[in-house]
Structures are given as structure tokens and as C-alpha cells.
């Protein structure tokens, strides 16, 4: 089969012919990939940012936003059958550790992360995962239409879901970055809360899309955006700021846009947050990190997606054009999400 594999860092991956994955345990599931999302994390992988944390053996297949059809199942699999349409939780978990039993799949002590850890991902024709990672979809669902919800979607939804108790009517939420994750976060906020949604982005086209999918107000990120948000919030800032950028200084901007007793949810990464401790004490502000989400988050998100309340804005590429997709994403030419279709 064809697969997109990293052979070295700071260089383009290659499209190789490799053997198809095979079952190795009773709970394994082989999925025929129908859509694989291209994520900024894939760019960070190529830059070597995850090399020490995950330590994958090179070469290996990237791709952690995957949906498709069940191709083969292990002897112990009972929740899906061959032919089922599925979306895959990006981090298969064991189900036995304390974190799993508490419903915190992303903190599983025995989890792995295909396409990120030392396990082949889904930028290929077939992918091996586990029964616990499979969320069944309606048979008519096109996997390419929902694949990026497996990571970008669940990550954005997880952050919004955690913030729901603080976003009652009369509150304000800021979404910083209306790109691949942010445009999902905007829709999740509109579906789950009655908060006022302000979206900040440097791209006018992204702001125009934000208006179409749920933003009440939009602010261009041009150096005056912190003051603009303060003006829209009576001078105090937002109750919750969702930072889908968190690099290039945006992480510090998000802190300045957060109201006293408010919360800054950090979803993007790459930057460095620098805050005087007195501001924590005096403002009683919170910083909350986010990584992926739970199986239930993904299942809930798919209910919204199949009801048409959360939709992905995508640009599809054939698997052979994976390098074009990665380059377009890196250059900012992709609105929404890039999807590889084998």
C-alpha cells in the first residue's frame, strides 16, 4: 500500500510502498482509510518537536486524524463489524488504568498515538488501531467529510465542553485563531452555550467564515486587537479565551484579553507564556491546558456533526499529493482542514 512516511526531520516525508498492517492482538481493528486529516502537529513532527517526547523509530507513517471503514477485526472485537463506517479516537487507550476508568482517556497510562508515537498513522491506505478507538458512524457518512474531527474536532470540543459551566447567558468567549481548530470551536460554542462569541484572527477570510458559523463579533489581529476586545467587553476582557494559536506572542495576547476571574484555555502550542505572578494573584485568572479529548467527547461531537450543527470546511487532496497538502498548510493556503483521500 502507499503511505506517507517520515524518514528524517527538517525534510519532506516520502510516499512509499509498504506492507499493509496486520492484526497483532484480539482487540485490533484494521481500517481502510477513507480520509486522513493534515494537521499542524504533522508540521511540528517534521520539525522534530515531538522526537524526544515520543521517540518514534524512523521511518514511520504519520497521520492522526482518521476515518474509514472496518476492514478486519481481531477475535475479541464485538463493538464493530467488517464494513462499518468509523471515526477513530486518535489515542487508543487500555480501558483498565485509573485514568481510563475515570473517563480520562487522554491520560491513559498505556495509551499510544498512531502517527505521533512509535506507531504508524493513517496517511496510508490502511491503519491498525483498536476496538476502543472506533466510534461507529451512520453508513452513509463519507469518512473524508469528518476525518479531521478525530483530532482537531475532539480537541476543540473538549476545551469548549470543559468551559460550558462558565459560559452561561451574559458571558463572553473569545476564540483566538479561526483556522482548522478554531472554526470547529466556534461551532461547538454556538451549539453548547448561549455565550457571546468574539473571534480574533489576522485573516479577513477566516473572520468572514467565523461570522457565517456562529461568531457574534469579529476582530482583526493587527496589533490593536487586545484593545478592541476590551472595548467590546466593557474594558474587562472575556470570561473565557480559547487560544488556538498560542505561539508568536498570541499566548500572551490571550492572557491580556482574559477578564479577572476568567480562564485562558490553551489549545495551540509552540510559544511561551510569560506572566508576573502578581497578575495571577490579583486577577484570580486561570490557565487551563488541553490535549485531545475523551471517547465520549468524540461520540458527542459526532452527534452534532451528523445533525449538521458542526461541519468541517475542508480541502481534499489525493494521497499522492500529501506533500502539496503539507506545504499548503504551512504556507497558510488552507482554510479549514486539508484532508488526504487514499
- Asked if 315 contacts 338 with a C-beta cutoff of 8 angstroms, the reply is yes
41, 85, 130, 218: the catalytic one is: 41
H or E segment to which residue 15 belongs: strand 14-17
78 is catalytic: no
71 is catalytic: no
10, 11, 22, 44: the catalytic one is: 44
User: From CA 102, how far away is CA 105, in angstroms rounded?
Assistant: 8
Reading phi first (left if > 0) and then psi (alpha if -120 to 50, else beta), residue 237 is in: left
By the 10 Å C-beta count (0-12 exposed, 13-18 middle, 19+ buried), 218 is classed as buried
Reading phi first (left if > 0) and then psi (alpha if -120 to 50, else beta), residue 194 is in: alpha
- What phi, psi does 305 have (nearest 5°)? -65, -45
- Asked if 236 contacts 174 with a C-beta cutoff of 8 angstroms, the reply is no
- Asked if 287 contacts 279 with a C-beta cutoff of 8 angstroms, the reply is no
Instruction: Cite the active site residues.
Output: 41, 44
Amino acid at each position: 500500500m502507499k503511505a506517507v512516511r517520515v524518514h528524517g526531520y527538517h525534510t519532506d516525508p516520502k510516499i512509499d510502498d509498504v506492507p499493509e498492517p496486520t492484526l497483532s492482538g484480539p482487540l485490533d481493528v484494521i481500517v481502510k482509510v477513507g480520509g486522513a486529516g493534515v494537521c499542524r502537529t504533522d508540521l511540528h513532527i517534521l520539525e522534530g518537536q515531538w522526537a524526544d517526547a515520543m521517540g518514534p523509530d524512523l521511518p514511520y507513517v504519520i497521520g492522526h486524524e482518521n476515518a474509514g471503514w472496518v476492514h478486519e477485526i481481531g477475535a475479541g472485537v464485538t463493538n464493530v463489524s467488517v464494513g462499518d463506517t468509523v471515526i477513530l479516537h486518535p489515542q487508543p487507550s487500555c480501558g483498565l488504568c485509573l485514568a481510563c476508568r475515570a473517563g480520562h482517556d487522554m491520560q491513559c497510562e498505556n495509551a499510544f498515538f498512531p502517527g505521533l508515537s512509535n506507531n504508524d498513522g493513517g496517511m496510508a491506505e490502511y491503519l491498525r488501531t483498536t476496538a476502543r478507538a472506533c466510534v461507529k458512524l451512520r453508513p452513509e457518512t463519507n469518512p473524508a467529510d469528518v476525518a479531521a474531527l478525530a483530532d482537531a474536532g475532539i480537541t476543540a470540543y473538549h476545551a469548549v465542553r470543559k468551559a460550558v459551566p462558565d459560559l452561561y447567558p451574559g458571558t463572553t468567549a473569545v476564540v483566538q485563531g479561526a483556522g482548522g481548530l478554531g472554526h470547529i470551536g466556534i461551532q461547538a460554542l454556538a451549539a453548547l452555550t448561549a455565550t457571546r462569541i468574539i473571534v480574533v484572527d489576522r485573516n479577513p477570510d477566516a473572520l468572514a467564515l467565523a461570522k457565517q458559523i456562529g461568531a457574534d463579533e469579529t476582530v482583526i489581529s493587527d496589533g490593536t486587537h487586545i484593545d478592541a476586545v476590551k472595548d467590546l467587553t466593557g474594558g474587562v476582557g472575556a470570561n473565557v479565551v480559547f487560544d488556538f494559536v498560542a505561539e508568536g506572542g498570541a499566548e500572551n495576547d490571550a492572557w491580556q484579553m482574559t477578564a479577572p476571574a476568567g480562564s485562558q484555555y490553551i489549545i495551540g502550542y509552540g510559544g511561551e507564556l510569560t506572566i508576573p505572578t502578581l497578575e495571577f494573584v490579583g486577577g484570580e485568572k486561570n490557565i487551563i491546558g488541553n490535549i485531545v479529548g475523551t471517547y465520549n467527547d468524540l461520540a458527542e461531537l459526532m452527534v452534532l456533526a451528523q445533525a449538521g450543527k458542526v461541519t468541517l470546511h475542508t480541502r481534499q487532496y489525493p494521497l499522492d499529493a500529501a506533500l502539496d497538502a503539507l506545504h499548503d498548510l504551512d504556507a497558510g493556503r488552507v482554510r479549514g482542514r486539508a484532508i488526504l483521500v487514499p
